[in-house]
Chain A
Amino acid sequence: MPTRFSLFLMIAAFAVPQTLLMGQSDTTPPTLVALSYAASIDVSAAAQNLAVTSTITDDLSGFNYGYIEFTGPSGQSFNGYFSRTSGTNLNGIYSATVAFPLFVEPGSWTTSVFLYDNAGNSITLQSATLITLGFPGTLTVVDSNPDTTPPTLLGASFSPSTINTSGGPQPVTLSLHVSDSQSGVVFNFTSCVVNANLARAGATASEPLEVWNSNFTLTSGTAQNGVWQATVMMPQYSGGSWSLSSVCLSDAVTNHVSLTSSQLAAMGINPILTDTSAPADTTPPSLTGLSFAPTIIDTSASIQNVTATLSASDDISGVYFGLFNATYYWLDAEFVSPSGNQSVFMQGIYNSPAPIAGSPQAGTWQLHFQWPQFSEQGTWTMNYIDLQDAVGNYAYYTPAQLHTLGFPNTIVVTKPSLTPDGTISSAGGTVDDNSFGTRASVTFPPGLVSTPTSVSIDVFPSPLSVPTPTGFTMPGTYFENLSFNPNLPEPIPAPGITIVLPLLTPMTPGAMLSLYHIDPIVGLAPAMNAFGNPVVGTVNADGVSATFNNVVTFSTVVAYVSTGSVLGDVNGDGKVNCADVSILKSSFGTHTGQAGFNSAADLNNDGTVNILDLFIVSRQLAAGTVCH
């Protein structure tokens, strides 16, 4: 039993190195080093292009993209994206061109700069900040003939006004009669991302049908007074009464107006589209299954892909993930980093993937996420998942709801520094961690490697968010990543290597711990020794480290404190035999929350009874055992 003083020393020894253990991780946004452009422009007689030059740096992942935006006194705005003219994405010279058309408003415009790096970090530098940093923060615009009035909506209509989509999607033309003085109406992304939204009467959990600017064309008149039309493909089974829930209009100098349904009604503009489809789909889809693979990734060397397998059902129109002609719906989901500053969206939403099993009414899909290199270390949480059907009914799942349903919603990003702590030759030897010393080391036997091999030992500052396996109380050691260059073949040939891990808190010398490793494919699993058995180690005499011998599978490792049960003993009778296999088989393939799920059979405690649990049991059976 340590004295209070020695215990204090031990705790201090654990605490001090943590700041050294963070490793490479890009959590800072790019830096604006220089910025210049002309102090004023005059658009009285002609449109002007403003040339901008800047220098941008980034510490690790590199500058990805950014833009400069100028905002006029009433809110008119124009921007230009940076393009590199020399240097690298870590330190480069960039130019941007901002086009100012005729009729923009005069006065002092404010400047904003938006910068994003490849890891997803971003920064917005507003005018005051730019000035504080010594950069220009305003632009003087001269114009003797400005346009400061937004467009006016004079009328709207659907043609035809009655359809029946029970046999399939039906086209409908939406006409908007719009006027604007001077600069004229435009349909682009600058001010109005969506120009019109159609909502179904009485639908509470239904996304509006969105009509985008690219669908509108001028069919009569001029930009100053004309009729613009867009074709909307109404989805099958979209029965009900549809109306305009909002309209957004902009002119060429970005004067814009957004009209709500009540404002439209007050203007006497309230066209109705009636779909007589029977049946009509008014029920949102339902998420019935969700899993991710892998659940632990390392982005220190490259981007990493994660596949989501999702099962869902919808009663009539079916689950829909992609675009639908002029309008669109999608399944969307977002993972957010521990700090909240980085996020990852689902990939491949542009083409609705076909189900890999079943049908849109009851199917299974595989979807993809991609983490940038140097992503923030730690546990990323799925912020939401938005599941929709083909007519826009949606089900929005929060993290709490996903948890209640028993679905996973986290991905762990590890970030080893990969900084070598030493080199081992063909003669073998020991390498100690530069931070933890002898409490974190690796020992190679002679002949294991034929060429000098560098060893990188990275002790993670905090435990990874992986479930503690069944039969164990908690991690007894830090998580530690071991990297070798050149890589070693796995499993390592007998007799394997010896690993020493630092304990999280002091333990009694001689106490036993079970070693686990994080497999890049299957996740947390028992580490195996050269004899084909799970590795069990003991706490060293110092009480602050534990030694594990003959290890042949490793990568990221951690050791757990046992509750005293036998590994693989599902029924708790102290033995591992066919009775345990029988129990495990009866709940095989089930997940947390499902009927038949047996937590005792979920030996790795990942929420699913599967082959990883069965491996733990089958490996403990005597060779030749036949279980019926």
Chain B
Amino acid sequence: MSFGASASLLAGTISVLPATPTETAGQTFTLSVDISGAADLYGYQFDLGFNPAVLEATGVTEGLFLPTGGPTIFLPGTIDNVGGTITANADILNGAVSGVNGSGDLLDVTFEALAAGSSNVQLFNLIALNSFGQGLVETTASSTVTVLAPTGAAPEPGTGLLAAVAALGALVLRRLLRPSSV
């Protein structure tokens, strides 16, 4: 049984598209944040994260989907090209109207490809509401942008990943031995 009588409302998938674009450093391109399977979507808010060493965000515009339900209040978010975030992107309908159903484009983000490398562009802190103010559970899918060096430029070296599996047991043990008061 779920929390009280209230089951979580499953209502679609929000994806950053295209899923695996390839760009060249210096190019400007656009990713869209699309929803599919929306059910009574009244408003949403989310943050976007990206690798600022590879991409630079330059603008955010409202998509066409939510305005099909009526006038909206759109907030294009705050771009932080140091921290690699676009925070508080939001869009919401006005008045006691129903939300929108189906699939479409929520917003579009324009990036400039800065340097060769890879960057996930992913949603987090997502809140989606229906017309009754209930939270909607949305599945999310990120985009992985590959940026190639301009023709003739040398590729950047990759980054190695270090692991220390042997210490896992020790870590668990240290937690078990941690004093209850800190």
Are A301's CB and B50's CB within 8 A?
Answer: no
Within the complex, which residue of B47, B133, B163, B174 is in contact with A519, where a contact is CB–CB below 8 Å? B133
Question: Is the CB–CB distance between A364 and B131 below 8 Å?
Answer: no
Closest CB of chain B to A355's CB: distance in Å?
Answer: 7
Interface bits B120-144 vs A (CB < 8 Å: 1, else 0) = 1010110101111111110000000
Q: Are the C-beta atoms of A556 and B3 separated by less than 8 Å?
A: yes
Which residues between 44 and 81 of chain B lie within 8 Å of chain A, taking CB atoms? 44-45, 47-53, 70-71, 73, 75, 77-78
With A328-B164, A532-B96, A611-B45 given, is the CB distance from A193 to B177 under 8 Å?
yes
Residues of B within 8 A of A556 (CB): 3-4
Interface 9-mer from B22-30, B108-116, B165-173: B165-173
- CA A62 to CA B5, docked complex, whole Å: 26
Q: Cβ of A364 and Cβ of B85 under 8 Å apart?
A: yes
Q: Is the CB of A215 within 8 A of B166?
A: yes
The size class of the interface chain A forms with chain B is: 35 or more
CB of B158 within 8 Å of the partner chain: no
Query: Contacting chain B: which of A138-146, A172-180, A262-270, A613-621?
Result: A613-621
**Interface segment, one of B12-20, B87-95, B148-156:** B87-95
Does A50 belong to the interface (CB within 8 Å)?
no
Cβ contacts under 8 Å, A328 to chain B: 164, 167, 170-171
Partner of A555, one of B6, B71, B88, B131: B6
Task: For residue A131, give the distance in angstroms from its CB to the closest CB of chain B.
Answer: 25
Give CA–CA (A3, B42) in the complex, Å. 49
Evaluate contact between A212 and B5: CB separation under 8 angstroms. Answer: no
A414 to B51, CA, bound (A): 39
Task: Give the Cβ gap from A173 to chain B, nearest Cβ, in Å.
Answer: 16
Report yes or no: A521 in contact with B135, Cβ–Cβ below 8 A.
yes
Q: Which of B8, B92, B95 contacts A520 (CB under 8 A)?
A: B8
In angstroms, how far is the closest chain B Cβ from the Cβ of A381?
Answer: 12
0 or 1 for each of A337-360: is its CB under 8 Å from B? (1 = yes): 000100101000111000111110
A481 interfacial by beta-carbon distance below 8 Å: yes
**Do B96 and A301 touch across chains, with their CB atoms under 8 A apart?**
no
Answer yes or no: A38 CB below 8 A from chain B CBs.
no
What is the bound-complex CA distance between A522 and B168, given in angstroms?
A: 35
Known: A520-B3, A618-B93. A623 touches B70 (CB 8 A): yes
Q: Which of A298, A350, A490, A623 is the one whose CB lies under 8 Å from B134?
A: A490
Chain A residues closer than 8 Å to B49, beta-carbon distance: 355-358, 364
CB of B53 within 8 A of CB of A359, answer yes
> What's the Cα separation between A356 and B75 when bound, in Å?
22
Known: A522-B135, A526-B133. A350 touches B168 (CB 8 A): yes
- Tell yes or no: A309 within 8 A of B by CB: yes
Residue from B8, B47, B162 within 8 A of A357 (CB atoms)? B47
Q: Would you call B127 and A623 a contact (CB within 8 A)? A: no
Q: A364-B49, A520-B135 are known contacts. Are A611 and B43 too (CB-CB below 8 A)?
A: yes
Residues A482 and B5 in contact, CB atoms below 8 Å apart: yes
| A588 and B132 within 8 A (CB) | no
- Tell me the smallest distance from the CB of B87 to a CB of chain A, in Å: 6
- Give a binary string over A351-375; 1 marks a CB under 8 Å from any B CB, 0 the rest: 1000111110011101000000000
B96 touches A623 (CB 8 A): yes
Q: Looking at B78, B134, B173, which has the most chain A CB atoms within 10 Å of its CB?
A: B134
CB nearest to A414 among chain B residues: B3
B133 touches A525 (CB 8 A): yes
Grouping DSSP codes into helix (H, G, I), strand (E, B) and loop, the B interface class, with mixed when no group exceeds half, is mixed
Contact yes or no, B8 A614, CB < 8 A: no
Per the bound structure, the CA–CA distance linking A70 and B121 in Å amounts to: 55
Which listed segment binds B: A39-47, A90-98, A253-261, A318-326? Answer: A318-326
**Which positions 606-628 of chain A face chain B at CB distance < 8 Å?**
610-612, 614-615, 618-619, 621-627
Tell which of A330, A491, A555, A611 touches B3, judged by Cβ atoms closer than 8 Å. A555
**Interfacial chain B residues near A484, Cβ < 8 Å:** 5
* Contacting residue for B88 out of A522, A610, A618, CB 8 A: A610
Q: Across the interface, which residues of B come within 8 angstroms of A491, CB to CB? A: 130, 132, 134
- When distances are taken between beta carbons in the complex, the residues of chain A under 8 Å from B5 are 482-484, 487-488, 490, 554-555
Whether A476 is near chain B, meaning CB under 8 Å from some CB there, is: no
**Alpha-carbon separation in the docked complex, A215 to B4 (Å):** 50
- CA A451 to CA B45, docked complex, whole Å: 38
Q: Closest residue to A490 on the B side, CB-wise? A: B6
Q: Which residues of A contact B127 (CB under 8 A)?
A: 521-522, 610-612
Contact present for B7 and A588 (CB under 8 Å): no
Instruction: For the complex formed, measure the closest distance between the CB of B98 and the CB atoms of chain A, giving whole angstroms.
Output: 8
Contact of A574 with B by CB under 8 A: no
Contact A487 B1 (CB under 8 A): yes
* Contact of A500 with B by CB under 8 A: no
| Chain A min CB distance to B63 (Å) | 16
How far is it, in angstroms, between the C-alpha of A118 and the C-alpha of B53 when the chains are bound? 44
> What separation, in Å, do the CA atoms of A521 and B138 have in the docked complex?
11
A532 touches B131 (CB 8 A): yes
Residues of B within 8 A of A416 (CB): 4
A330 to B9, CA, bound (A): 35
| A553:B133 contact, CB within 8 angstroms | yes
**Cβ contact within 8 Å between A323 and B168:** yes
Q: Is the CB of A189 within 8 A of B170?
A: yes
Binary flags per residue of A586-615, CB closer than 8 Å to B gives 1, else 0: 001100000000000000000000111011
Q: A356-B124, A554-B5 are in contact. List 18 more A-B contacts (CB 8 A).
A: A212-B166, A212-B170, A300-B1, A323-B168, A334-B182, A345-B175, A350-B168, A357-B83, A358-B52, A384-B182, A517-B6, A521-B137, A528-B133, A532-B131, A555-B5, A581-B73, A615-B92, A624-B70
6 contacts between A and B (CB under 8 A): A363-B84, A364-B124, A487-B2, A519-B6, A556-B3, A611-B90
Nearest 4 A/B pairs, CB to CB: A357-B49, A521-B135, A589-B88, A623-B95
| Residues of chain B having any CB pair with chain A under 8 Å | 1-9, 42-45, 47-53, 70-71, 73, 75, 77-78, 82-85, 87-88, 90, 92-97, 120, 122, 124-125, 127, 129-137, 162-164, 166-171, 173-175, 177, 180, 182
